[in-house]
Amino acid sequence: MKNEGRILLGLGLFFLIMFGFYWPLSHEQSGSTMMFFAVLLGFLPGGYYYWWSRRMKPRPEDSDDADMAESAGFIDSFPGSSIFPFTLGMGAWMSVMAMIFGIWLAIPALSLIVWALLGATAEARRGGHR
């Protein structure tokens, strides 16, 4: 997990150095803002991963000589199928259509989205279809 954190921290550091050159030289606001948030996008998750990597048990996927048996046991539940991504996608599409062709389309769009969110939550609590 350490290397995963280091990649993001390294990118954040690079953008910080670049920001240190760019803002004083240009005083250009939009680019500097975007670069500053790129620094945060490197440091926040990167720091979180690095912080966790010092507190967790070493994982078999980070070890040079791990066997398959070391990851034995329940790893996660992967749904075999689910209708709700399709429903949610159609809801999202219709809400974009509502922005363009008329706000009345938001009614079916939001119904689909709410149905999908409730359904997907219930399905995830059941553990999904196998």
Residues contacting other proteins: total by CB under 8 A: 60
Q: Are 107 and 57 in contact (CB under 8 A)?
A: no
Question: Of these, 54, 57, 78, 125, which contacts other proteins (CB under 8 A)?
Answer: 78
Question: Of these, 8, 109, 112, 113, which contacts other proteins (CB under 8 A)?
Answer: 8
Q: Are 95 and 106 in contact (CB under 8 A)?
A: yes
Counted residue by residue, the chain has a size of 130
- Report the largest interatomic distance among the alpha carbons of the chain, rounded to a whole angstrom: 60
Q: Are 119 and 90 in contact (CB under 8 A)?
A: no
Q: Are 7 and 47 in contact (CB under 8 A)?
A: no
Q: 106-126 vs 84-101: helix axis angle to the nearest 10?
A: 160
Phi, psi angles (nearest 5°) of residue 41: -65, -25
Which window, 50-58, 95-103, 105-113, contacts other proteins (CB under 8 A)?
95-103
> Minimum distance from CB of 46 to other proteins (Å)?
10
Question: Of these, 79, 106, 115, 117, which contacts other proteins (CB under 8 A)?
Answer: 79
> Minimum distance from CB of 90 to other proteins (Å)?
7
Q: Is 58 in the site for other proteins (CB under 8 A)?
A: no
Give the rounded distance of the alpha carbon of 23 from its chain centre.
Answer: 29
Q: Is 127 in the site for other proteins (CB under 8 A)?
A: no
Positions touching other proteins (CB under 8 A) are: 1, 3-4, 7-8, 10-11, 14-15, 18, 21-22, 25-26, 28, 30-31, 34-35, 38, 41, 49, 60-75, 78-86, 88-90, 92-93, 96-97, 99-101, 120, 129-130
